[in-house]
């Protein structure tokens, strides 16, 4: 059986080159006589893997020296608690922009630990845009300012970052990390679940400025304290070893493709192919417009639930899988992460044109 075109929002498609290397090394990594899955995380062999992975991430993302890279577990959702537990330590205040389900969940969780303010929300139009921000409304003494950089479910993204001054900007980049260059120095914390653009589910990457480590609230569990993991080089307990190994392979792939500038160019090309068709179609309609459109997640609808269902069913039969929209939105969604080839998007558009002509 040939591989399908997988448009899943996550766990998502991985580069075939990466999968082939992992397959070849599955039973024996290099000349170690063992699989990476079997290795002690304390071994010299595994130490080299995690060290290379961090080095590659720092190189590819141009991470400054005054930032720690942490390889954690618990998904991005654990960060919704971990961030306020570690950062809500002065004014016990934080600002949030609510642009989708994940931003909302981060806000709701943080309310357990301090005073949270919604600066702006796009809930009035089903999170189909990024709201304009009034900087005069920002909490000047907030412990942090939180955004979700790219909204996986609703297909919108921040193009312009809020100017938060001395307040640390915290960004959930789960669905856009490695898709284009970002100036890491503009953020206090960047966090991301790996299962969209970095590797398999089970690994969470946190990039944190060093001055934000070491002031956790007294109630913070040991495993939720960034200091615990920073002081132990992500080895306080057994890290998600195989996920880190796959991330290393993905980073090698990204580097060999030309780095994040090259990723951005390819991702813009893929997104343009799909959006251009949606904007010209008489049947399919995009749900996000203007500069806020995501390069990674493209939701679209026909306006008819039966037709949507028919499209998803026929698309799956034709080898285009996981196009059903999130249950909270309906319709369809094509997630076109780094590993989705241009050819996959071109063939999807061909299929959509045929479906439109036949229906």
Active site residues: 102, 172, 196
Q: How far apart are the C-alpha atoms of 225 and 144, rounded to whole Å?
A: 17
Mapping DSSP to helix (H, G, I), strand (E, B) and coil, where does residue 37 land? Answer: helix
Q: How far apart are the C-alpha atoms of 336 and 338, rounded to whole Å?
A: 7
Q: Give the relative orientation of helices 44-61 and 241-256 as an angle to the nearest 10 degrees.
A: 40
The CA R_g of the chain, rounded to the nearest whole Å, is 21
Residue in 11, 37, 32, 12 with CA at minimum distance from that of residue 22: 37
Please, where are the H alpha helices in the chain?
Answer: 16-24, 44-61, 75-87, 101-110, 226-231, 241-256, 259-280, 305-317, 342-358
Q: How far apart are the C-alpha atoms of 245 and 191, rounded to whole Å?
A: 18
Cβ within 8 Å of residue 226, ≥6 positions away: 68, 70, 82, 86, 206, 208, 212, 213, 214, 216
Mapping DSSP to helix (H, G, I), strand (E, B) and coil, where does residue 203 land? Answer: coil
Q: How far apart are the C-alpha atoms of 225 and 331, rounded to whole Å?
A: 40
Q: How far apart are the C-alpha atoms of 193 and 21, rounded to whole Å?
A: 22
Contact in structure between 277 and 307 (CB atoms under 8 Å)? no
Compute CA distances 60 → 65, 180, 182, 214, 222, whole Å. 14, 10, 10, 27, 31
- For the beta carbon of residue 273, count every other beta carbon within 10 angstroms: 16
Contact in structure between 190 and 173 (CB atoms under 8 Å)? yes
DSSP string, 142-159: -SEEEEESEETTTTEE-S
């Amino acid at each position: 059986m040939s591989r399908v075109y997988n448009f899943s929002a996550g766990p998502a498609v991985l580069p075939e080159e990466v999968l082939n290397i992992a397959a070849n090394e599955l039973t024996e990594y290099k000349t170690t006589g063992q699989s990476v899955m079997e290795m002690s995380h304390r071994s010299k062999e595994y130490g080299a893997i995690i060290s290379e992975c961090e080095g590659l991430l720092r190189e590819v993302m141009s991470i400054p020296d005054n930032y720690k890279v942490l390889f954690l577990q618990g998904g991005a959702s654990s960060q919704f608690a971990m961030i306020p537990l570690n950062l809500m330590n002065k004014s016990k205040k934080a600002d949030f922009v609510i642009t989708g389900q994940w931003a909302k969940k981060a806000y709701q969780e943080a309310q357990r630990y301090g005073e949270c303010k919604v600066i702006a929300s796009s809930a009035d139009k089903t999170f189909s845009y990024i709201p304009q921000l009034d900087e005069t409304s920002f909490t000047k003494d907030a412990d942090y300012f939180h955004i979700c950089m790219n909204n996986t479910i609703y297909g919108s993204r921040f193009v312009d970052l809020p100017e938060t001054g001395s307040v640390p900007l915290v960004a959930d980049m789960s669905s856009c990390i490695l898709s284009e260059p970002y100036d890491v120095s503009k953020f206090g914390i960047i966090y991301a679940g790996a299962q969209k653009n970095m590797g398999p589910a089970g690994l969470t990457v946190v990039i944190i400025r060093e001055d934000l480590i070491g002031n956790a609230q007294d109630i913070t569990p040991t495993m939720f304290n960034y200091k615990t993991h920073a002081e132990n080089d992500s080895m306080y307990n057994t890290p998600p070893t195989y996920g880190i190994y796959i991330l290393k392979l993905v980073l090698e792939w990204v580097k060999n493709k030309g780095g994040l500038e090259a990723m951005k160019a390819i991702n813009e090309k893929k997104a343009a192919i799909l959006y251009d068709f949606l904007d010209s179609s008489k049947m399919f309609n995009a749900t996000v417009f203007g500069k806020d459109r995501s390069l990674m997640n493209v939701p679209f609808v026909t306006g008819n639930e039966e037709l949507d269902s028919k499209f998803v069913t026929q698309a799956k039969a034709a080898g285009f899988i996981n196009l059903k929209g999130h249950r909270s939105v309906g319709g369809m969604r094509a997630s076109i992460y780094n590993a989705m080839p241009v050819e996959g998007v071109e063939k999807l558009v061909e299929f959509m044109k045929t479906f439109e002509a036949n229906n």
